[in-house]
Structure 1
């Protein structure tokens, strides 16, 4: 649980920092911005998937369909 939060926090803050500093770089602005955006998106996917009741678990879907059993 704590390790999952640490990974999330590093990806989240790191992604925001990368996107923030990308405009001030002389070279590779687009590459650094895209890396920051990818890190931010990975952090969101990580936190949605982590945990016992993650939002993307197939066995715990919201409509109670066939995968819920």
Structure 2
């Protein structure tokens, strides 16, 4: 949650900076991406099911 909110904080901060806007905005994108990747990798989430996307062996 800290990474996700920190990324959005950097998005907003980038608009206020006179220099290095691109660097700060890119860092915000990176933080949000890392936060989402971390959440999707958690054990027991929907992406870890044996029957993921309804792909069964039988057709």
**Cα RMSD, aligned residues only:** 1.8
> Are residue 25 (structure 1) and residue 17 (structure 2) matched?
yes
TM-score between both structures, scaled by the size of structure 2:
0.77
Q: Superposition pairs for residues 1-69 of structure 1, below 5 Å?
A: 9-55=1-47, 57=48, 60=50, 62=52, 63-64=55-56
Larger radius of gyration: 2
Question: Taking CA–CA contacts closer than 8 Å with sequence separation of 6 or more, which of the two structures ends up with the larger relative contact order?
Answer: 2
TM-score between both structures, scaled by the size of structure 1:
0.67
Count of aligned positions: 55
Q: Runs ≥4 in structure 1, deviation > 3 angstroms?
A: none
- Contiguous gaps of at least 5 residues in structure 1: 1-8
Give the CA deviation at 1:41. 0.9
- Contiguous gaps of at least 5 residues in structure 2: none
